[in-house]
Structure 1
């Protein structure tokens, strides 16, 4: 069973929150989406991707296949007609029998903590050094990048009791330093919800130019 912490905030500079997330504990499905698009409604694109990913994962698609189908569906649903196209970065995950499978594209990230220290979850390609700092992935977006050109990162981790994974949009990591992440994610006295609320508090003390979203799952 997971203890859940969840938070989403527009940040200090933006009126519109284009981030969204979803969690279905039954089939062990989690999704975080960071929309983009300004006048072309990044929040609408993010909601579309969120709903598509949840349905695809519930139907048994792998996280990577769910991302590909969501990107293709968004390109069909919202053809790009302006210089500021609408799209989304996203991370999708499924948990089953102690194993978490996840995939992501764009600027969303996953952070793992064993309760003592934390680390950003890397794809196999990143771990082997064939993708330098995720740069190739960061410039892409569902609905904007053609499906066959999507650079989707994948990872599989085994979770033990007390360990947690946080899925978040880039705004959260841009404004929180290493010590702040450690304080929020590695203090056993904090509940999962208290952890993400503390992280949000740290973020809002800074510039917080972007939307801020985090979904934390701790295996209890």
Structure 2
């Protein structure tokens, strides 16, 4: 594996949508540290926004890691701090709040995706789109066990009930996937406000030939034109070609699946 990183273009947008009064989503675009994230808060009023902001604010303090193990340790530390902060807010207010999240780490030719809840990470490669993350939802569990068909899942009344989120338990439970990046790869991170209105095929079509900014704006416009029933957040990361300065590679081998 070549020990140089590929150049990266990234952008993010977030909007409250056409129905909700508040935007409880947040996102982070930190190419200098190789970190991108989206977070979708839940709890009503301003509580959801507080939860998603806690995740993003803590992750924003990671800074430039001195080594791959340091990067991973910083990420897990910040997420744990956010989890503790959100739980403290829940206790002080006497309510339950939390937030889903999906994050992407890219360093030295490798990617790592980490998530909890139904915020998603897609990879577009060789003109094909695949969902890297797997939703932590009741409906996904029923699909996995064969109790629901794909068609039934679309209208199942509890299809939006999530089973994992930051801030709802003492310990954060996350899922994890990793792999090698290739020139031309496009990663799309989004909250469920995007996928409620836009298909995977439409995501691919909107991103393959556009800049990161134009693709984000096009997807947002598509959601709003279709009613925007939820907050929507999209972060796009496009992997270019050529060579740039060497950067450390995360040691991702110690985590496979949930931790």
Q: TM-score, normalised by structure 2?
A: 0.71
Aligned mates of 1:130, 1:140 — CA distance in 2: 12
Q: CA deviation at 1:69?
A: 4.0
Q: Does 1:10 align with 2:16?
A: yes
Does the residue aligned with 1:55 lie in a helix, a strand or coil?
coil
Give the match for residue 145 of structure 1: 169
Which is further off, 96-105 or 52-61? 52-61
**CA distances 1:129-178 after superposition (whole Å, capped 9, x unpaired):** 99965x9x93222112331xx44110112111111111110111111023
Q: Does 1:206 align with 2:230?
A: no
Structure 2, unaligned runs of 5 or more = 1-6, 66-70, 135-139, 145-158, 241-259
Give the match for residue 73 of structure 1: 85
Give the match for residue 54 of structure 1: 60
Query: Does the 8 A contact of 1:6 with 1:215 survive in 2?
Result: yes
Aligned mates of 1:167, 1:65 — CA distance in 2: 22
Q: CA deviation at 1:86?
A: 1.9
Give the match for residue 182 of structure 2: 160
Structure number, greater radius of gyration: 2
Aligned mates of 1:58, 1:71 — CA distance in 2: 22
Q: Does 1:95 align with 2:101?
A: no
Give the match for residue 111 of structure 1: 122
More helix by share: 1
Structure 1, unaligned runs of 5 or more = 124-128
Aligned mates of 2:44, 2:235 — CA distance in 1: 24
Query: Does the 8 A contact of 2:193 with 2:229 survive in 1?
Result: yes
Aligned mates of 1:100, 1:23 — CA distance in 2: 15
Q: TM-score, normalised by structure 1?
A: 0.83
Matched positions, count? 209
Does the residue aligned with 2:238 lie in a helix, a strand or coil?
strand
Pairwise CA RMSD: 2.7
Aligned mates of 1:130, 1:139 — CA distance in 2: 9
